[in-house]
């Protein structure tokens, strides 16, 4: 019984170290995938960037799994969340008053797109040849669709938009407007400033929600 506390402490310390190591590996993966792409990024390069051995990286996840985790963590702060509502990006948003609810949602998503749009482009490309990435991508797209249905439903509940005759259609339009692809095209490719993108996003979403 005397040794229970030290053993518990060491076990907790190892668990914390494992979490910290995984976080470094994911952050290193995100940096390399975003700058070098999927094919050119190797496990050895990720290991060097993270300051760990290649064996440690392999034990953490496969290359495909690291790309998926890198996007999820960069975009939302969480791995494997079933809904955007369960991530750091959406923390506390549902409790916000009506006056700032939609603006906060748009600001949070715009900020997430700014962080993760490059990785999203890499993810789309990798999904064309990697079935693990493609399966994850399809899951993300499904969750994105569900999240946007939930958003439209919440906006109607708060009476921030007129009742929508086609909730799923409105959600699909919002999914396009709020997507990392839109940020990539308008800011990264067309040279818009983040502020111009943010104004466009607010106007485009308002116009879509005005449709009945």
pLDDT at 76 over 60: yes
Mean pLDDT of 174-180: 97
What local confidence, expressed as pLDDT, does residue 88 receive?
83
Calculate the average pLDDT of the chain.
93
Assign 166 a pLDDT band (cuts: 50, 70, 90): very high
What's the pTM? 0.89
Which domains, and CATH codes, for the chain?
1-60 (1.10.10), 65-210 (1.10.357)
3-state helix/strand/coil string of 52-120: CCHHHHHHHCCHHHHHHHHHHHHHHCCCCCCCHHHCHHHCCCCCCCHHHHHHHHHHHHHHHHHHHHHHH
pLDDT at 10 over 80: no
pLDDT at 9 over 70: no
Closest by CA to 175, choosing from 109, 127, 103, 93, is: 109
Spatial contact of 51 and 24, defined as CB atoms under 8 Å apart: yes
pLDDT at 89 over 90: no
What local confidence, expressed as pLDDT, does residue 21 receive?
96
pLDDT at 2 over 60: no
What local confidence, expressed as pLDDT, does residue 3 receive?
52
Query: Treating both helix axes as pointing N-terminal to C-terminal, what angle do 63-76 and 4-36 enclose, rounded to 10 degrees?
Result: 90
**Could you read off the pLDDT of 127-149 as tens digits, one per residue?**
999 999 999 999 999 999 999 99
Assign 15 a pLDDT band (cuts: 50, 70, 90): confident
Assign 90 a pLDDT band (cuts: 50, 70, 90): confident
Mean pLDDT of 11-23: 86
Assign 176 a pLDDT band (cuts: 50, 70, 90): very high
Q: What is the rounded CA–CA span in Å between residue 96 and residue 137? A: 30
What local confidence, expressed as pLDDT, does residue 82 receive?
82
Q: What is the rounded CA–CA span in Å between residue 212 and residue 204? A: 15
Assign 91 a pLDDT band (cuts: 50, 70, 90): confident
pLDDT at 7 over 80: no
Residues sharing a CB contact under 8 Å with residue 72, sequence separation 6 or more, in sequence order: 78, 79, 80, 81
Q: What is the rounded CA–CA span in Å between residue 183 and residue 111? A: 10
């Amino acid at each position: 019984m005397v040794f229970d506390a030290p053993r518990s402490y060491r076990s907790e310390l190892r668990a914390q170290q494992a979490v910290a190591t995984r976080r470094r590996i994911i952050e290193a993966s995100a940096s390399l995938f975003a700058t070098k792409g999927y094919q050119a990024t190797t496990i050895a390069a990720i290991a060097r960037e993270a300051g760990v051995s290649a064996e440690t990286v392999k034990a953490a996840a496969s290359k495909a799994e690291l790309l998926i985790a890198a996007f999820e963590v960069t975009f939302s702060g969480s791995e494997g969340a079933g809904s955007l509502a369960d991530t750091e990006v959406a923390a506390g948003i549902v409790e916000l008053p009506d006056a700032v609810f939609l603006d906060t949602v748009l600001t949070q998503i715009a900020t997430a797109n700014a962080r993760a749009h490059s990785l999203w482009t890499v993810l789309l490309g990798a999904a064309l040849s990697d079935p693990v990435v493609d399966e994850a991508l399809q899951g993300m797209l499904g969750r994105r669709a569900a999240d946007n249905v939930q958003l439209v439903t919440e906006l109607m509940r708060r009476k921030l938009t007129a009742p929508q005759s086609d909730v799923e259609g409105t959600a699909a339009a919002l999914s396009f407007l709020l997507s990392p692809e839109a940020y990539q095209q308008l800011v990264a490719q067309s040279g818009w400033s983040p502020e111009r993108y943010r104004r466009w996003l607010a106007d485009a979403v308002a116009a879509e929600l005005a449709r009945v």
